[in-house]
Amino acid sequence: MTFSEGFLAEAARIVQGLPADEIERAAALLARVREEGGRLFILGVGGSAGSASHAANDFRKLCGFEAYCPTDNVSELTARTNDEGWETVFAGWLAGSRLRPADAVLVFSVGGGDLERNVSANLVRALELAKSVGARILGVVGRDGGHTAKVADACVIIPTVNPDHVTPHTEAFHGVVWHLLVTHPALKVNPTKW
């Protein structure tokens, strides 16, 4: 078997292992957020920041959400990093946006954040703020989901089928899950062009 055949076979196994019930829970939760006039804040670091940005567009355009991605505002992101530190960059951004109970925070991450290992501490701090104000938390994460999976109201954990490919598979399947959500009949209100 070639590397390409193996990688694609792993992807097929992931599709079969995706937790459809948890995706349905996320869709229902997101529908409630929108119905209640809540906003959707989408967080990600590294490649997951790219997923967050793309997803914010799709949730706004296709689903009629007031959705934001903090990493899209690089001036504020770098000012907060410079002045306050990377660990609190998202929490500060959410506080400045007056995060409230009607809102939701959606995290795209491979590890989900872990303070003990000092990995994506900025996600952990943002979720601590979200919990403290009563905002809803959703995640699409890999491996065991880290802090995100522990505190989320709905969390899709991308199955690990090869420990050497956790990052590429998780980041690839971020797109599969959010595209499923923005196409879900409970959420989609506008047609796609194609």
Average pLDDT for the chain: 97
Over the stretch 93-111, which tens digit does the pLDDT of each residue have? 999 999 999 999 999 999 9
pLDDT at 55 (0 to 100): 98
User: Could you tell me if 41 and 97 are in contact, meaning their C-beta atoms sit under 8 angstroms apart?
Assistant: yes
User: Could you tell me if 81 and 93 are in contact, meaning their C-beta atoms sit under 8 angstroms apart?
Assistant: no
pLDDT at 28 (0 to 100): 98
Over the stretch 7-53, which tens digit does the pLDDT of each residue have? 999 999 999 999 999 999 999 999 999 999 999 999 999 999 999 99
| pLDDT grade for 120, boundaries at 50, 70 and 90 | very high
Q: What is the percentage of the chain residues whose pLDDT exceeds 90?
A: 99
pLDDT at 128 (0 to 100): 98
User: Could you tell me if 142 and 169 are in contact, meaning their C-beta atoms sit under 8 angstroms apart?
Assistant: yes
Q: Which domains does the chain have, with CATH numbers?
A: 3-183 (3.40.50.10490)
Q: How far apart are CA 52 and CA 122, in angstroms?
A: 15
Residues 138, 143, 146: CA angle, nearest 5 degrees: 55
